[in-house]
Amino acid sequence: MASDFRPARFLGSAHAQTVAAALLRRPKSPKVRRERWDTPDGDFIDVDVLDGAGPQVLVLHGLEGSSRAGYVVECLRLAAARGWGAVALNFRGCSGEPNRNARSYCSGDYDDALFVLGRMKGPRLAVGFSLGGNVLLKLLAERHAEAEVTAACAVSVPFDLHACARALDGPGPMMRFYQQRFLRTLRAKALAVAARHPGKLDADRIRASRGIVGFDDAVTAPLYGLGSAAEYYAWASSGPRARHIRTPTLLISAEDDPLAPASHLPAFENPALTRLFTRHGGHCGFLAEGGVFWAEAEAFRWFDTAR
């Protein structure tokens, strides 16, 4: 699918798009209400609910994001402008309050997203960003019948999690900036889990871990009963599973994404998938001329036609 994306002036580079989007996306949020839903495993999730008729949109944020992330709020705004409803899920530990159980969230864990979809009434649409996009694609590939999603969109997906982790652990000041931005909060949360749930995690191993791969070895893999970061990446990566998706799904990714480039999606034919790959855009960037949040606008144009 041809792309009409043109980066905003002075934001042509991948890193400029990635950082500027995180700093400059400040859309005005529609009226939502925060609700706490008890989960089947005795824990809870916090969601922001937008009331509306017609389609209901599930919105999934990225690694260490939340329902307050600019791209999530923009999706809520676009849904409200159409009179639709929406639910923005805060993955466990991302709403500002620690969860009851040791289990947190990861790129391959779609149980809470499926639980939310099961509580949504009417035609269901879904959009996910970065980690949330990977969660969405894996869910659609493995639990399509239960999800009952009419159309979906996934933005800046880390199709190959091992390659993405290696990029984050790679050389250069910008990669170190991204890595430390994630690890600062990830480590703090993991150490808090280790303190609240003795025996679940090794606090000394968490402190000694280096980089994203080291963190996933020490925390993510053990929490999900996996032996290593490499095993976790193989279990969670959506790229190899996307060939099984049957839901009409738009994939928006940039070739210059410094963390998860479009090229990480394996080559295969699947008529349910529409690839909207751009030369520029960075990671969850896509800031266009005129201050347009291009990816979010494209996602809802897709929903307008695909539903």
Show pLDDT as tens, one digit a residue, over the chain (307 residues): 667 899 998 899 999 999 999 998 888 999 999 999 999 999 999 999 999 999 999 999 999 999 999 999 999 999 999 999 999 999 999 999 999 999 999 999 999 999 999 999 989 999 999 999 999 999 999 999 999 999 999 999 999 999 999 999 999 999 999 999 999 999 999 999 999 999 999 999 999 999 999 999 999 999 999 999 999 999 999 999 999 999 999 999 999 999 999 999 999 999 999 999 999 999 999 999 888 999 999 999 999 998 7
CA 182/CA 256 separation, integer angstroms: 20
96 vs 27, 65, 203, CA distance in Å? 21, 11, 21
The SS3 call for residue 61 is: coil
Could you list the active site residues? 130, 257, 283
Token code pair at residue 163: 């390659």
Whether this prediction's pTM lies above 0.85 is answered by yes
CA 66/CA 134 separation, integer angstroms: 16
Amino acid at residue number 90: N
Structural domains in the chain, CATH included, are 14-160+238-306 (3.40.50.1820), 162-236 (no CATH)
CA 156/CA 119 separation, integer angstroms: 27
Q: What angle do CA 54, 135, 240 make, to 5 degrees?
A: 120
**Which residues, in sequence order, are CB contacts of 267 under 8 Å at separation 6+?**
none
